[in-house]
Amino acid sequence: MNWILVFEVAYVIVLILVCLRIIYDTTAITKTLAYLLVAIFIPFGGMLFYFSFGINYRKRRVYSKKLIEDDGLRKALEARLISRTEQNLKTHEGVVGDAESLVRLLLNDSWSPLTVGNRVRLLTNGEEKFPEVISALRSARHHIHLEYYIYEDDHIGNRIKEILIAKAREGVKVRLIYDDFGSRSIRGKLVADLKAAGVEAHPFNVVRLLFLANRLNYRNHRKIIIVDGQTGFVGGINISDRYDNTSDGERDFYWRDAHMRIDGEGIHYLQYLFFCDWNFCSGEKMEPDACYFAGQPQPDANEVVQIAASGPDSPTSTIMLSLLNAIHLAKKEILLTTPYFIPGESIINALRVAALGGVSVRILAPGISDSRFVNAAAWSFYGDLLHAGVEIFLYQKGFIHAKTMVVDGYISVVGTANMDYRSFDLNFEVNAIVYGEAIGRQLRDTFNMDLMFAEEITYQNWEKRPLYKQLSERIARLLAPLL
């Protein structure tokens, strides 16, 4: 018997089955083609890569977001969210402006309500965020909920640990969700110390074999803190010394980031997300109780807030759709800051359409990056955007990690989601959207200040790059859907 022939036939049969699985399981055309190329042209390794990183958990649902089992109660709550949002749309029509379609998209797609009477504060870098967080944690009387992609066993991580331990000993209910991959440095002693003091802590999506973990892609990239159901934090800043440029810890470069503090009903959906993720991690069946949703409209506060969140548990990429909708709403200006820019054709074309239609589109991206390959893939998109009139600036002071967008000065987005496939399809993400000119003005001013440390690239100069660079970027672009 010719065993080599048998082996080759068996391999072809397996390859065909894997290709059929990829076609059936992967919805995005570009991603499907990329996985097919990898499987076909990299013997064995390509198939292993797909089964390690490519399984579509959006189709297979990592877990259910159904918090309330009683159908009648759930329908009553949904009806209340719709009624409240409609009421807030009427009373704040002048603030929401032309963004009513965006409000309804988030309401209909994920039941995220439009909330009013919030107090919002933008926080730049860890040096502004961490003092605010520490103050809020120390003021806790009922509960503290934290959910983080990266929680480091370093100075700020241990400082917050000691506060959580002290609050737990006072009788405050403290719960922590940490991503098992991003926060791997705290798996041992830090988490053990928290648990010994009464803090409940659970890893998200436990990773046992990193090199074979098909869930390595499906990480919890959210950064959420909720205190007493009244105060919340959301944005791009993890719990790590690297985000505080005044700390004594070692750093490769200056870290530029953005976060947001919200006081009021705007944090209710953040609390809902935490409950969903907590039930998944802990195996508990916590249902939303009124004491966890105590946030009320703040005196003399008038910020209008809505939350956009999505992940492999969502039937659609809510965050991507919300960003796409916001871009289409632009009439004058789009200011976009992102550390990773591999957004896919829909976002690219929307930005080109906006620029060609006379909208001023400015993108601030890293000149210094923590991933050369990702940067190369991002650069492959710049030529088409520059040709359409989009202005692109590369930040030079350090690494810009902020994920923000301002549309026409009144739609402001601050969150955890990058402009890339990973944030849109593979990770659990959350963005806060603020409607109104006050926060929009602050974000625009911050964007313009960041431009002082950035270099603009022009279409003429970009096209003069050496051919080997252009080729390497094109190759990186082929693999962009897999990054």
Instruction: Just list the catalytic residues.
Output: 221, 223, 228, 401, 403, 408
Instruction: Give the DSSP letter string of 128-142.
Output: HHHHHHHHHHHT-SS
Q: Where are the beta strands (DSSP E) in 89-162?
A: 115-124, 143-148
Strands 223-227 and 143-148: antiparallel
Length of the chain: 483
Task: Return the number of other C-beta atoms located less than 10 Å from residue 392's C-beta.
Answer: 24
Closest alpha carbon to 62 in 249, 256, 219, 285: 219
Report the C-alpha gap between 258 and 236 in whole angstroms: 6
Per the listing, tokens 């065993």 go with 3
Report the C-alpha gap between 392 and 456 in whole angstroms: 6
Instruction: Give the DSSP letter string of 371-415.
Output: -HHHHHHHHHHHHHHHHHT-EEEEE-SEEE---EEEETTTEEEEE
Q: Are 418 and 386 in contact (CB under 8 A)?
A: no
**The token pair that represents 277 in the structure block:** 């993720």
CA distances from 215 to 52, 57, 60, 352, 472 (A): 8, 9, 12, 34, 29
Q: Are 123 and 244 in contact (CB under 8 A)?
A: no
Q: Are 444 and 335 in contact (CB under 8 A)?
A: yes
Phi-psi sector, 49: left (phi>0), alpha (psi -120 to 50), beta: alpha
Q: Are 222 and 307 in contact (CB under 8 A)?
A: no
Instruction: Give backbone dihedrals phi and psi of 11, rounded to 5 degrees, phi first.
Output: -60, -45
Per the listing, tokens 């009683």 go with 70
Task: Return the number of other C-beta atoms located less than 10 Å from residue 14's C-beta.
Answer: 12
Report the C-alpha gap between 118 and 434 in whole angstroms: 10
